[in-house]
Structure 1
Amino acid sequence: MKSHAIYPQLVLGSSSVYRRELLQHLQIPFEIASPDIDESAFPGEAPGTTALRLAKEKAHAVAKLFPDALIITADQVAALGEIQLGKPLSHENAVQQLRLMRGREVTFHSALCLFNSRTARLQARVIPCSVKYRELSDSQIEHYLVKEQPYHCAGSAKAEGLGIALIERITGEDPNALIGLPLIALVEMLMEEGVELF
């Protein structure tokens, strides 16, 4: 009979409650650490490049606190063409974002890193997800924002909540990528590190 592997120390480097809930789906023990980094994009930086750079910076920041762990970090940047759509942080900015996105397709670039702080092995990927927004009226946008207040979500919409009602279509290889933690890719990365989920 095959014995179950002892899990290495696993750390989710994120303050996001949604990423924490997603990681709980894998039913493995983990700790949480909030990386403190500057999340600003560089001038002229492509959205996927920004997301990947920030996810890597988060991993290295958390590694300083956990020298013998597998560290999971992620970042997401939404883009409408060449325009990067960050976290709105205010009602006014969220209104502007949703007005800009209505009836259009937005690409969410979700970067994922798994960093082994003992061996310094880094696995990293960007998993894009395209979202087509419905034609929303100004009153629909206003009512949605008052109800959900998604001011800390890239693109001003929580797809895991009422924000799903704003969306006409989602296209991508992993539905979890839109929420911020691509679990399909994460499972592959964990397997590469010898972590057996069952």
Structure 2
Amino acid sequence: MNQPDHNFPRLILATESTFKRELLERLSIPFESVAAKIDERPLAGESPADTARRLARQKAEAVAAAHPGAWVIGADQVIALGDTRFSKPKTAERACAQLAELSGQTHALLTAVALVTPGGAVSDDLAKYQMEMRALTSAQIAQYIAEDQPLGCAGSYMIEAGGIRLFRAMRGDDYTAIIGLPLTRVHTLLERAGFFDVA
């Protein structure tokens, strides 16, 4: 865990995800990470994009409430094929079923990030990707799942590992969004809110 120093205000990433922590480290800003415990179920009639934005904000707000005076970043990712959403499979059987359904299709990957300032101001942004998956055989799916074990990944793939070979094309403007934390959006939100001016 990175520890804050005197050059920057206290920054907290509202997650326990190793992948998100590793991404944020690329910005060379000291931070802490604190898991946000919220209900992540979508609301009735809520669009995938709205779900991602709401959950990112709720994660940031929950951690900010427990750590007054800190700047807090929250993030959430929703994978959707039409009206169907794909959560973390948790089992190999469910992962196989998810990849079989996504096989040969182009699905949406929506990654929201939210920032809560010490004064309670909240801002957010959303990165959108179109993920064109190759047509996969059952054997290819089973082999991939055995190799990467993506049971804790929404959509049942890890793009930062062997999951890259499952795709024909990916269309978006910040590849770190696919892994779970769009760094261009994070830096812009911090900049606009005056985080770097406080240092």
**TM-score (norm: length of structure 1):** 0.93
The one-letter amino acid of 2:28's match is Q
Instruction: Give 1:65's aligned residue.
Output: 66
Query: Runs of 4+ in structure 1 displaced over 3 angstroms?
Result: none
Instruction: Give 2:3's aligned residue.
Output: none
Q: How much does 1:196 deviate?
A: 3.7
1:56 and 1:195 map into 2 onto residues whose CA distance is 18
Q: How much does 1:43 deviate?
A: 2.5
The one-letter amino acid of 2:100's match is R
Q: Does 1:12 align with 2:13?
A: yes
Instruction: Give 1:188's aligned residue.
Output: 188
Instruction: Give 1:41's aligned residue.
Output: 42
Instruction: Give 1:113's aligned residue.
Output: 114
Q: Does 1:134 align with 2:142?
A: no
Instruction: Give 1:101's aligned residue.
Output: 102
Q: How much does 1:192 deviate?
A: 1.3
2:47 and 2:154 map into 1 onto residues whose CA distance is 15
Instruction: Give 1:22's aligned residue.
Output: 23
The one-letter amino acid of 2:114's match is C
2:94 and 2:57 map into 1 onto residues whose CA distance is 27
Q: How much does 1:16 deviate?
A: 0.8
The one-letter amino acid of 1:7's match is F
2:195 and 2:63 map into 1 onto residues whose CA distance is 20
Instruction: Give 2:52's aligned residue.
Output: 51
The one-letter amino acid of 2:120's match is A
The one-letter amino acid of 1:170's match is M
The one-letter amino acid of 2:26's match is H
- Runs (5+) with no aligned partner, structure 2: 1-5
1:107 and 1:54 map into 2 onto residues whose CA distance is 17
Q: Does 1:178 align with 2:178?
A: yes
1:163 and 1:17 map into 2 onto residues whose CA distance is 17
The one-letter amino acid of 1:109's match is L
2:70 and 2:78 map into 1 onto residues whose CA distance is 26
- Runs (5+) with no aligned partner, structure 1: none
* Residues 76-95 of structure 1: pairs in structure 2 closer than 5 A: 76-95=77-96
Q: How much does 1:92 deviate?
A: 1.2
2:69 and 2:130 map into 1 onto residues whose CA distance is 36
Percentage of identical aligned residues? 38
Q: How much does 1:139 deviate?
A: 0.3
| Residues 167-194 of structure 1: per-residue CA shift (max 9 Å, x gap) | 1101001111111101011111111133
| Residues 86-138 of structure 1: per-residue CA shift (max 9 Å, x gap) | 1111111111110001111010110100111x211111112111110011110
Q: How much does 1:85 deviate?
A: 1.0
The size of the alignment, in residue pairs, is 192
Q: How much does 1:152 deviate?
A: 1.1
RMSD (Å), alpha carbons? 1.4
Q: Secondary structure at the match of 2:33?
A: strand
